[in-house]
């Protein structure tokens, strides 16, 4: 495979192709017949997936650093260039995106029945933006892609969403905008500071990473701006309330992309930018304690609130807050195990939660409600649907042998040394996770079948199976044999750990931080 890829110079054009192809696809979608838009979108996204798979072999495993780097000057006078490249972390995030995109298109097949051209054009734009976010190595370029993901999602929720879609779309947009504008300011300041120190005006990632120390006393503020932007995206408690609204209102494809990929931009941002740029601030005892405390609150809080949701989609939305809290704990856990675990949780959550949203979409298309109380007893009527829902639910619960466990286990195992109490508290989430999901699926597929509407609930069609089964394969594969993925990510993770290695001293509890802050203020 590697030889074949070399013979076609795959590494030289692939990253550009992944960006350009979806944009090219927008043209026939917009110009064509509304009814054929979905087919065109499916072809383009599938082609994108096939092309992207080569990255798996093109990335040299075991080699640290960014690979396939390409640099095209863009606005030279401002030091901005079109600079892209990948490492193991970007690789898995890009693949997660390209895998989920054709499935999302397929899931929208009947769900989207108005203004199809607009919808699929936005989906393809979204694909470009999401891939761009994960491969951008120029801070300005990253910012452009970061914002570009926002606009299609805003319209997807606002136009094809549920009854309360406008409120949800605006809430989503404003929330994210708040953070990202602050981040833009921080990027510009960082670039100026680095220019002042090195004499070179450049937005290039590696250049800034090497010289981020020049931020000096501004570092805490810059970190805060980056962190806020990403914290809202993740979302970290208490910046999460846009998420349930956005999910409930978004059409299935929107929910899938939002949960599976867009949330990961936040955690990816912490791993790629916020922490490596300012490790002295990010991993200082006070900030660590704050982040870990918020992470663990998110883990437990998300699970408990999920427990009492009457709407299945909202339940899954809150469960995302819980899962992403684990990712944050893993990032701050600061060991090979915890960071690798955080990355696996990011992938696993993408697969499992994506699959859950897809299944919820299938339920909604049949019964036009997501309220748990409307269902019950359908396991007898639709065994295949019930089986798949059960498998996906257990993967999300973290049953060992399926994907969810691998990440969860590694995060907690790796965090025990630095944050023993937080880890033990976070571990109790395995109880609540089983609680909210199993209770939900009991109310859907078990119990008495007393609504005749549910008697007519048809089992999955071939198209729907084609949407779900690839994800189930991924769920089992990562659960049983995650080694190839772990090995590909390990050099990047090791590099991240080396770049951010700081000694930890001082307070590591919320109370300790409070005391610390008060003491600082007194001085």
Partner 1 sequence: MTFSHAVWLAVALPLAGFLVNGALALRRPRATGLVSVVGPGVLVAAFVVAAGIFLELWREPPHAPTVVSLWSWLPVGQLQVDLAFQVDQLSAVMLLIVTGVGSLIHLYSVGYMKADPGYARFFAYMNLFVAFMLVLVLGSSFPVMFIGWEGVGLCSYLLIGFWFNDKVNADAGLKAFIMNRIGDVGFLVAMFLIWRAFGSLDFTWVTGHAADTLAPGGAVVTAITLFLFLGCTGKSAQIPLYTWLPDAMAGPTPVSALIHAATMVTAGVYLVARTNVLFALAPVSSTIVAGIGALTALFAATIALRQYDIKKVLAYSTVSQLGYMFVGVGTGAYAAGMFHLATHAFFKALLFLGAGSVIHAMHEAYHATHSHEDAQDMRNMGGLRHAMPWTFGLMLVATLAIAGIPPFSGFFSKDEILSAAFARGGEAPIYYLFYAMGILAALLTAYYMARLMAMTFLGPNRTGERERTHLHEAPWIMTGPLLALGVLSTVGGALNLPHLVGGHSALERWLEPVLAPGLAVGRLSMPEGSTEYLLVGAAVAIGVIGLLLGFRATLGRGILPAREAPPDTGFALVLNRKYYIDELYEAVVVRPLLWLSRVVLWRGVDQGLVDGAAVNGAAWTSRVFGGGLRLLQTGHVGAYVVLFLVGALWILRAVIR
Q: Does 409 bind partner 1 (CB under 8 A)?
A: yes
479-518 as b/e, with b when 16 or more CB fall inside 10 Å? beebeebbebbbbbbebbeeebeeeeeebbebeebeebee
Between 188 and 214, whose beta carbon lies closer to partner 1?
Answer: 188
- Within 321-380, the residues that bind partner 1 by CB under 8 A are 335-337, 340-341, 377, 379-380
In whole angstroms, what separates CA 396 from the centre of its chain?
A: 15
Q: Does 263 bind partner 1 (CB under 8 A)?
A: no
- Within 190-249, the residues that bind partner 1 by CB under 8 A are 192, 218, 221-222, 225, 238, 240-241
Between 111 and 221, whose beta carbon lies closer to partner 1?
Answer: 221
Q: Segment contacting partner 1 (CB under 8 A): 264-272, 273-281, 325-333, 421-429?
A: 421-429
Give the Cα separation of 226 and 182 in Å (integer): 7
SS3 string of 118-158? HHHHHHHHHHHHHHHHHHECEHHHHHHHHHHHHHHHHHHHH
Q: Does 44 bind partner 1 (CB under 8 A)?
A: no
- Residue 481: CB minimum distance to partner 1, A: 6
* 8-state DSSP, 401: T
**From candidates 410, 468, 478, 492, binder to partner 1 by CB under 8 A:** 410
**From candidates 24, 76, 481, 511, binder to partner 1 by CB under 8 A:** 481
- Within 146-185, the residues that bind partner 1 by CB under 8 A are 170-171, 173-175, 177-178, 181-182, 184-185
- Within 282-311, the residues that bind partner 1 by CB under 8 A are 301, 304-305, 307-309
**From candidates 73, 447, 506, 517, binder to partner 1 by CB under 8 A:** 447
Dihedral angle of Cα 273, 335, 329, 438, to the nearest 10 degrees: 120
Give the Cα separation of 431 and 503 in Å (integer): 34
**From candidates 210, 487, 504, 515, binder to partner 1 by CB under 8 A:** 487
In whole angstroms, what separates CA 379 from the centre of its chain?
A: 31
- Residue 406: CB minimum distance to partner 1, A: 7
Q: Does 188 bind partner 1 (CB under 8 A)?
A: yes
- Residue 110: CB minimum distance to partner 1, A: 25
Phi, psi (deg, nearest 5) at residue 145: -65, -40
Give the Cα separation of 131 and 28 in Å (integer): 21
Between 84 and 430, whose beta carbon lies closer to partner 1?
Answer: 430
Bond before 238 cis per omega within 30 degrees: yes
Q: Does 461 bind partner 1 (CB under 8 A)?
A: no
Q: Does 22 bind partner 1 (CB under 8 A)?
A: no
In 3-state terms, what secondary structure has residue 402?
A: strand
432 touches 300 (CB < 8 A): yes
């Amino acid at each position: 495979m590697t030889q074949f890829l070399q013979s076609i110079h795959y590494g030289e054009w692939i990253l550009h192709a992944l960006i350009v192809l979806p944009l090219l696809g927008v043209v026939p979608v917009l110009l064509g017949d509304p009814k054929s838009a979905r087919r065109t979108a499916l072809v383009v996204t599938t082609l994108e997936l096939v092309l992207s798979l080569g990255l798996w072999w093109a990335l040299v495993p075991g080699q640290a650093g960014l690979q396939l780097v390409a640099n095209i000057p863009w606005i030279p006078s401002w030091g901005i260039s079109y600079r892209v490249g990948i490492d193991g972390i970007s690789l898995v995030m890009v693949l997660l995106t390209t895998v989920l995109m054709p499935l999302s298109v397929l899931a929208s097949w009947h769900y989207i029945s108005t203004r199809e051209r607009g919808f699929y054009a936005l989906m393809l734009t979204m694909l470009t933006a999401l891939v761009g976010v994960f491969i951008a190595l120029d801070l300005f370029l990253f910012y452009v892609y970061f914002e570009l993901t926002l606009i299609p999602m805003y319209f997807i929720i606002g136009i094809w969403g549920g009854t309360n879609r406008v409120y949800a779309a605006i809430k989503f947009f404003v929330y994210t905008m708040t953070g990202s504008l602050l981040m833009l300011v921080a990027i510009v300041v960082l670039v100026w500071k680095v220019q002042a120190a090195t004499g070179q005006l450049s937005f290039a990632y590696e250049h800034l990473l090497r010289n981020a120390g020049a931020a000096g006393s501004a570092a805490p503020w810059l970190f805060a701006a980056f962190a806020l932007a990403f914290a809202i995206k993740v979302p970290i408690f208490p910046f999460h309330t846009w998420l349930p609204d956005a999910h409930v209102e978004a059409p299935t494809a929107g929910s899938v992309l939002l949960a599976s990929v867009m949330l990961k931009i936040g955690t990816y941002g912490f791993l790629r930018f916020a922490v490596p740029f300012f490790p002295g601030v990010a991993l200082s005892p006070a900030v660590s304690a704050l982040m870990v405390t918020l992470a663990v609150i998110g883990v437990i809080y998300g699970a408990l609130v999920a427990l009492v949701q009457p709407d299945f989609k909202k339940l899954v939305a809150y469960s995302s807050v819980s899962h992403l809290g684990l990712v944050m704990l893993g990032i701050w856990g600061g060991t090979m195990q915890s960071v690798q675990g955080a990355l696996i949780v990011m992938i696993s959550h993408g697969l499992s939660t994506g699959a859950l949203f897809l299944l919820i979409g299938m339920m909604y298309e049949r019964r036009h409600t997501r309220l748990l109380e409307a269902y019950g007893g359908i396991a007898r009527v639709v065994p295949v649907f019930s089986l798949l829902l059960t498998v996906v639910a257990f993967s999300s619960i973290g049953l060992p042998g399926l994907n969810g466990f691998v990440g969860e286990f590694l995060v907690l195992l790796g965090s025990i040394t630095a944050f023993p109490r937080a880890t033990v508290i976070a571990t109790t989430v395995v109880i609540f996770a089983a609680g909210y999901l199993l209770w939900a699926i009991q109310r859907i597929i078990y119990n008495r079948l007393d609504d005749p509407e549910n008697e007519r609930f048809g089992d999955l069609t071939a198209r729907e199976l084609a949407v779900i089964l690839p994800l189930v394969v991924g769920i089992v594969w990562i659960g049983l044999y995650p080694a190839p993925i772990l090995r590909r990510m390990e050099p990047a993770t090791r590099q991240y750990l080396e770049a951010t290695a700081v000694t930890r001293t001082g307070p590591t509890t919320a109370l300790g931080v409070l005391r610390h802050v008060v003491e600082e203020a007194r001085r």
